[in-house]
Structure formats: structure tokens, C-alpha cells
Amino acid sequence: MLDTPRSEGYTIRLSFLVGFLINQSVPPQKPKFSGRRTAGIVSAAVLFTLLGVLIASNLDLSAPSVAQVPTNVSQTGLFPVVDKGGHMQSPFVDVVNQVADAVVNVSATTRDNQAHWWLRGGHYAMSRGSGFFFREDGYVLTNNHVVANAMEITVRTSSGYEYRAQLVGNDPESDLAVLRVEPEEKVTVIPFGDSDEIQVGDWAIAIGNPFPEQGLDRTVTVGVVSAKGRSQLRFTGDTPYYQNYIQTDAAINPGNSGGPLLNLRGECIGVNAAITSPTGSSVGIGFAIPINLARAIVPDLIATGKPSRGWLGVQMSDVNERQAKRLGLNAVRGVVIDSVFVGSPADQAGIQPGDVVVKFNNQEVVNGSQFSVLVSTLRQGNTIPVEVVRDGKHVNLKTTIGDRDSGLAQSLENPGGGAHPETEVLLGMELSRYTPEIARDIGAEHVDGLYVWRVYPGTAADRAGVTAGSIIMKIGKNAVSSVEEFLSAVRQEEDRSRIPLIVQEPDGAIARKILRQ
């Protein structure tokens, strides 16, 4: 990239040098102080200086560029170009040439459970999406929702070869799946990048399979990283529990699911997964699963078919504005520990109910969704630092991560192991009476109702948008403050497929939710 001001400086200085040298080549004359002679000398000097400008302007004496490869809009400009042998070219061309052949079409045949009962025996549906090779021995990464409940999976490569694919492992909670084929060709692979390094404003390139029935495979769209750490999103169908999405305005159309989101180095920084749109097509709000989340679970999917996740042993809720002000936090960020399982890693580390976790493993904690991802991607046995705010003071602790499956199994065998053994699971929610003690622990005012400790993904409560930390105050017209009153109110509803709730949300707002069974 030329440094224009410096180049112009070189040209101007050189013009004066050339003019001076030419002037010096003129034989010296004895000074005569006539006006005509003086004007002639000045005219000659100006003429030779202009000649020097013309000569120097055709010379390339600009300083060599030391600029690094640009990564975002502020460095490249709105319409970035690079010089390729004297031809100006988009920097996205090299990336596409490097990795496009690694992107594959994925189609899955599933049984259509939405069909009428008399057709279900032989009625099938087709799910289509994208994926990409990340290992030369035929391993493909894609979304779980592309291949969920598949009876048969087919992968079609850029060269037109079709392969029957094996589902190696899948994880509905993160919406990732690993397939494997035995390619008869040499395949291109896409390396994993580092999604923690990306910044809002970095260029993002999406490659996918938007409309396969029209032959529009491996379509390229370009945009920027619009935001990081998106969570608490609701999608049509099953919504993944672990959410820490990259948001991008690179168009993610139907069928792009499972394709790569790339940086300008040709590295995968995310797996395209979903869009938010009132029309069903891209309006510039797309979401990709960070590749670092995939890094954490892909080895387990290959080795055992399912992920191994870290476990802390707490129940939590997001910090609300009232709590943030009371604790003197700089922003409404962090998670409140509602309860701690006895004997869990959190209990052994000294984490207490009422603590607000503001940093975990040296990363700022934003909300419960992000915190769950941070914990889940760690391995059993990892010892990591935790910073909590307790009674207005910052306390630094260390905890050793446990295994989630083992920890949950132990907690189910010992239901009194948690701080609130009286909880009940109803309609996808873990509930208990909202007591003055709970209100004190979370820094909120007490009202009559049921406290929501947890909402299970994919349930009626989850689909209705009920969140952990909410307080259920009424079912229909009936006030509820105990599990018994909750069950009685549900029975009194004429249409039990549609149960109306009045809840106080974690931020104090009163909302109406409909649980559709």
C-alpha cells in the first residue's frame, strides 16, 4: 500500500534536485546586473525545475510498505482491494479460491413426524444444509439440526462426487455434528481459527448452499462481524442450550446452515447456524457458532459420539439492574449464584449463594448463557480462577472443574445436595416457593409466587420465553405461591394446551407468557 504523502514528498524534493543539477550544468556567466539578464536566469531556473518535476514523477521511489494484512473495515476501507500483479482485486478472492472446495452440500432423509398418522409409516422429509471438511481423512463439520434424526445422510463435494456419510457424533445442546465419508478424491480442508480473537467490525465471509434445488451451491456472501456473545435467542424448532453466537451481516440464507464463517486468512471462525428475520430470508442478522466452542467438543464427538462437559455445581440467574447498583458494579453484567450443590467443585472452592461471579477463567462474565458456555468448554480437572463480588467486596477464588454428567447424576441421587431440595420440575421449569430468604440472597424484593431456578431447553416453558430468575405470580386468574397451588391452577384451566402465566421477570418487569403444550 502506497504511503501517498511520503511519496509526494520524495517527488517534490527530487524535482528540485534535478533542476539544481541541470542549472549547475549551464556554464557560469560573469554577473551582469541588467534587468533583462536577471529575468532570463530566473526563467531558466523555473524551466529546469519543471523539467525535474516531469522526470521525477515517472520514477517510483516510494518507501516500501510495512502494513500488515488488513482484517477489518477501518483498515481496508468500505470497498477493499489488493494489488495482484498490477490488477486491483478483492481480498476475498484469495480466501474463496483457497477454501471453497472444502465446503460440501449435506442432505439428510428423515421420517416426517408432522405428516398425518396414516402417512407416517412411509412418508419422509428431506433436510438440506452445508458443511465443510476439517480433516483430510474425510471428517465434516455441520449443524446438528441439519442431520437430526436422519435415516440417511449424503455429502456432495465441489467436484460432484456423492458419498454416503456416517454420523460420527452430534450434540443438540450446541447444535454441532461431525460426519465422516471415505473420499475417493483429495479433499480441501479448512483450518480452525480462534474466535476469541475476532473483533466487531472484522470482515466475515460465509460460504454455503442456499438453494441446492436451483444448483446454487457454494455461494459466497461477505459482511462484517456485527456483534459477539449473542445469547438467549429463540429459534424455530429446538433451540440450543449453549449459546454464545457470533452475529454477522454476511447473508446466511436457507441451506447455509453448517457452512463456515471465515476470516481473511481463510480460517474458520464460526459455523453458520441461524438467522433472525420477519420474512424467513436474510435481512442482515445471522448467527454462527464460535469455532472455539466446536474446538472444545469436536474431539469428544469423534472419540465417543457425545461431548464431555465441565461442571461447577451451581444454580444461577442473571444480574439485574437493582443488584448491579446495590453491589456497585460498573455494568449490569455477571451471574448471581442462587444455590450451590453440596460437595460440588463450587462448594469446595468456597463459592456461596448470593455471590456474583464477574470473572471466570480470566474472562468477564456477561450473563448466564455465556457463563454456562465458559464452564462447559473446560475439561474435568482444570483448575481455574474465579472472581466474585460478595457483600460489595471482590473475592478471588480457585475451583477445579468436574464432569457434568457425573455431577448431575450425583445430584439426582442426592436431591438434598442442593441449597433448595424442595424444588419440583413442572412444565419444563425447576420451581420452588419464592421465600424471603431467596429474595434476600438475590437482592430483590419479596412477592408471593414461585421462583424459577432453571428452564430446560426445548420445553414448553423454554418456547414461551420463561427465563431462570423469573417469579410465577399467577396462572390465569389464580395467584400461586406453592407447587400445590400451581398444580391446582393448571387443573382448573379449561384448555390445558394453552396455559397463561403472569410472571415477574429478573429485571422486575411484569410479563404475560403462554405455555403451549
Q: Which residues are catalytic?
A: 145, 175, 257
- Rounded Cα distance between 41 and 37, Å, is 6
- Rounded Cα distance between 166 and 183, Å, is 12
CB half-sphere exposure, 125, CA atoms < 13 A: 15
- Rounded Cα distance between 101 and 168, Å, is 22
DSSP 8-state symbol, 211: B
Query: Count of CB atoms within 10 A of residue 59's CB?
Result: 11
- Rounded Cα distance between 127 and 255, Å, is 9
Closest CA to 220 of 237, 203, 241: 203
CA angle 332, 338, 344 (to 5 degrees): 120
- Counting beta carbons within 10 angstroms of the beta carbon of residue 456, is it exposed (0 to 12), middle (13 to 18) or buried (19 or more)? middle
Neighbouring-strand partners of residue 170:
177
- Rounded Cα distance between 128 and 258, Å, is 10
- Rounded Cα distance between 456 and 15, Å, is 76
- Rounded Cα distance between 314 and 56, Å, is 73
Q: How big, in percent rounded to 5, are the helix, strand and coil portions of the chain?
A: 25, 30, 40
Neighbouring-strand partners of residue 103:
132
Residue spans of alpha helices (H) in 221-328: 291-304, 321-327
Could you tell me the three cell numbers for 407? 455431577
